[in-house]
């Protein structure tokens, strides 16, 4: 149905009724009410208008997206008719919610400048109003997002305009108001924004960051370190290197205290070593003879910790299950929990089956079969080519093949019946975004320094069920992270120089086969990864992906499971750390 979009097209949207029915004045609350109206709407044109408004209000406002797309999924916004966005943004006088007015103006501005400067400028003011309302209602994450977007949108309209000057002043004012009682990340986000745009007074920002660090130090050492690190940056910009060094020394001290707590548990030695390495890096950033001596002391401690044990991930193997029971188990595991506990619930829905159990199952499946003793097996890949040829008389090879077959079946069932329902429940309750994944990635000992944005982007794609994109982003990052962990154990991850002198990094297959990887991950997890990623008898996902042999629809279950594997190794070490606090 071809629609010519005008302001009259949206006459069916009763904004007053929405305001009365919505739980609050946010876009998400309005979208929920409109969703209920759509179910009973019979007129096709009215239904199309409500669907478009619902989808527009469901977009997630995302800060610091590597692609610069503030409203995500960007693909949803890009497919909306420009005329429809223009019509909505030009007639906001009936809309009572500042948050909704800001969304209508911002979406139109982002979609190929489908509106004018005046409408976008009004959107800036509405974002500010929404930020103040949300902060007053103690919804600081949403408040900070609106404030950040107000500053960035005003900047895109012209950094020399009075509008931008006024918005920056408002942001600094809100920061000063928040700091004396702030024990969250609200002030941190505003300090980051002002620092990155080179706005505000660097000395004042440093002092405010140190004040919040002092307030949260007794209850949240992670957050205190974040504030101290921002304070150090600001002191350096203000040309006070001694004050910056003092902040870094305090960061190193808190990391060593955390390391002591981690080392007191059998599961925490991997985290202990990671904390000590961060302390070492803090001293390295200071430089000088004293820092040099501290670095040597910490290096010795790290070697001792690594030699004393292996980090263990939580293990709960999933036995035989019915798909309907699995769906309900998955939803129940994450329902009505905080966002972090819900993620832990998702990550601990199951643990890869032990190699011993798989072997016993495989023996039962192949025993007594005359055909399995004499037959020759050919396994076909997605393109129809033969990718594996196993003689039936080779008992060990057939046993391994059966083990991989069981793992592959588990992956597919668990992806559809476990991971997806649990994820949908989490998103229904929390609406997690890329910023949340970045927060986890920056703290996870699994993620190499400098790769946090890539992990966050890939994990966020999975949050929005774009698992194809997630797999393409995360596969090289996952492979690099495993090499990084081997290198930290002192394992060379490059091949010996060839005749021409060139060296190559170990590919994922070699990494997963390296015996010292067992010092970081258990054998069941490694076998599971091999079956999913590199074994021809399994899914061989890494190589199929690298050679362009996959399509998003036919491989979705494998993509879902791989996304969950990455989420698991990012989140679970943090769960262990939380348990030791």
pLDDT in tens, 219-235: 888 889 999 999 999 99
So what's the pLDDT on residue 561?
95
So what's the pLDDT on residue 443?
85
So what's the pLDDT on residue 269?
64
Q: Which of 318-327, 443-452, 480-489 has the lowest mean pLDDT?
A: 318-327
Q: Which pLDDT band holds residue 376 (cuts at 50, 70, 90)?
A: very low
Between 379 and 135, residue with greater pLDDT = 135
So what's the pLDDT on residue 314?
43
Six-digit token pair at 286? 């200071």
Q: Which of 2-11, 139-148, 188-197, 361-370 has the lowest mean pLDDT?
A: 361-370
> CA-based Rg of the chain, rounded to a whole angstrom?
27
pLDDT at 384 over 60: no
Mean pLDDT of 84-89: 94
Q: Which pLDDT band holds residue 495 (cuts at 50, 70, 90)?
A: low
Q: What share of the chain is helix, strand, coil (3-state, %, to 5)?
A: 70, 5, 30
Mean pLDDT of 399-427: 88
So what's the pLDDT on residue 498?
53
Q: Which pLDDT band holds residue 409 (cuts at 50, 70, 90)?
A: confident
pLDDT at 577 over 70: no
pLDDT at 416 over 50: yes
Mean pLDDT of 126-139: 91
Mean pLDDT of 387-401: 63
So what's the pLDDT on residue 488?
82
So what's the pLDDT on residue 57?
94
- Residue count (the chain): 581
Mean pLDDT of 287-305: 82
Six-digit token pair at 378? 């050919």
pLDDT at 178 over 50: yes
Q: Are 398 and 379 in contact (CB under 8 A)?
A: no
Mean pLDDT of 260-268: 66
So what's the pLDDT on residue 308?
55
Q: Which pLDDT band holds residue 397 (cuts at 50, 70, 90)?
A: confident
Mean pLDDT of 350-371: 75
So what's the pLDDT on residue 191?
95
Q: How far apart are CA 439 and CA 446, in angstroms?
A: 13
Q: pLDDT (tens digit, 9 = 90+) per residue, 315-334?
A: 444 444 555 678 888 999 99
Torsion angle (degrees, nearest 10) of CA 241, 245, 247, 248: 130
Mean pLDDT of 444-465: 90
pLDDT at 121 over 60: yes
Mean pLDDT of 113-122: 93
**Concatenated DSSP letters of 298-317:** HHHHHHHHHHH--------B
Nearest CA among 578, 482, 490, 471 for reference residue 521: 482
What is the residue-averaged pLDDT of the chain?
84
Percent of the chain with pLDDT over 70: 85
Between 154 and 39, residue with greater pLDDT = 154
Q: How far apart are CA 313 and CA 22, in angstroms?
A: 42
So what's the pLDDT on residue 355?
87
The three-state DSSP-derived secondary structure of 506-566 is CCHHHHHHCHHHHHCCCHHHHHHHHHHHCCCCCCCHHHHHHCCCCCCCCCHHHHHHHHHHH
Q: pLDDT (tens digit, 9 = 90+) per residue, 510-565?
A: 999 999 988 888 888 999 999 999 998 888 898 888 777 666 555 789 999 999 99
Choose from 259-263, 396-400, 401-405 the range with maximum mean pLDDT. 401-405
Q: Which pLDDT band holds residue 367 (cuts at 50, 70, 90)?
A: low
Burial tier of 486 (Cβ tally within 10 Å: 0-12, 13-18, 19+)? buried
pLDDT at 395 over 80: no
Q: pLDDT (tens digit, 9 = 90+) per residue, 205-222?
A: 999 999 999 999 988 888
So what's the pLDDT on residue 199?
93
Alpha carbon separation from 204 to 158, 168, 210, 237, 522 (Å, rounded): 25, 15, 10, 11, 48
Mean pLDDT of 483-502: 73
Mean pLDDT of 469-496: 87
């Amino acid at each position: 149905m071809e629609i010519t979009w005008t302001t009259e097209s949206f006459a069916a949207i009763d904004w007053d009724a929405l305001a009365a029915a919505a739980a609050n004045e946010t876009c998400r609350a309005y979208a929920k009410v409109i969703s209920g109206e759509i179910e009973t709407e019979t007129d096709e044109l009215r239904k199309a208008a409500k669907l478009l408004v619902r989808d527009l209000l469901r977009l997630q406002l995302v800060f610091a997206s590597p692609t610069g797309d503030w409203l995500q999924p960007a693909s949803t916004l890009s497919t909306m008719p420009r005329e429809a966005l223009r019509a909505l943004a030009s007639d906001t006088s009936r809309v009572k919610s500042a948050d909704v007015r800001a969304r209508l103006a911002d979406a139109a501005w982002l979609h190929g400048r489908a509106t004018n400067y005046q409408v976008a400028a009004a959107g800036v003011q509405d974002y500010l109003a929404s930020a103040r309302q949300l902060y007053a209602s103690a919804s600081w994450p949403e408040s900070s997002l609106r404030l950040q977007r107000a500053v960035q949108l005003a900047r895109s309209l012209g950094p020399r305009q009075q509008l931008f000057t006024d918005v920056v002043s408002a942001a600094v004012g809100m920061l000063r108001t928040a700091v004396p009682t702030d024990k969250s990340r609200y002030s941190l986000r505003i300090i980051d924004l002002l620092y990155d745009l080179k706005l505000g007074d660097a000395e004042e920002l440093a002092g405010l960051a140190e004040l919040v660090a002092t307030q949260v130090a007794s209850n949240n050492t992670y957050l205190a370190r974040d504030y101290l690190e921002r304070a150090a940056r600001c002191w350096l910009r203000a040309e006070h290197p001694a004050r910056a060094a003092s902040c870094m020394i305090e960061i190193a001290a808190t990391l060593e205290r955390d390391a002591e707590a981690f080392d007191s548990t059998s599961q925490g030695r991997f985290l202990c070593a990671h904390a000590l390495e961060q302390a070492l890096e803090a001293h390295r950033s200071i430089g000088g003879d004293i820092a040099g001596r501290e670095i040597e002391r910490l290096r010795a401690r790290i070697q001792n910790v690594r030699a004393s044990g292996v980090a263990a991930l939580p293990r709960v193997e999933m036995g035989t299950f019915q798909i309907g029971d699995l769906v309900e188990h998955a939803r129940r595991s994450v329902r009505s929990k905080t966002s972090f506990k819900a993620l832990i619930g998702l990550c601990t829905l199951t643990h890869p089956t032990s190699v011993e159990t798989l072997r016993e199952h495989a023996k039962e499946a192949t025993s007594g079969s005359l055909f399995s003793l004499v037959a020759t097996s050919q396994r076909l890949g997605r393109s129809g080519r033969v990718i594996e040829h196993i003689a039936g008389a080779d008992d060990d090879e057939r046993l391994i093949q059966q083990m991989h077959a069981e793992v592959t079946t588990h992956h597919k069932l668990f992806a559809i019946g476990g991971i997806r329902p649990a994820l949908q429940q989490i998103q229904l309750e929390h609406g997690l975004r890329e910023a949340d994944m970045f927060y986890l990635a920056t703290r996870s000992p699994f993620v190499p320094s400098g790769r946090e944005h890539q992990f966050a982007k890939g994990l966020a794609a999975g949050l929005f069920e774009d698992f194809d994109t997630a797999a393409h982003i995360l596969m090289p990052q996952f492979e690099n992270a495993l090499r990084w962990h081997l290198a930290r154990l002192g394992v060379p991850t490059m091949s010996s120089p060839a005749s021409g002198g060139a060296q190559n990094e170990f590919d994922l297959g070699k990494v997963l086969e390296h015996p010292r990887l067992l010092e970081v991950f258990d054998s069941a997890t490694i076998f599971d990864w091999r079956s999913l990623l590199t074994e021809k008898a399994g899914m061989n996902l890494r190589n199929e992906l690298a050679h362009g042999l996959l399509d998003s629809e036919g491989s979705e279950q494998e993509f879902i499971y791989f996304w969950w594997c990455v989420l698991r190794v990012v989140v679970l070490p943090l769960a262990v750390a939380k348990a030791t606090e």
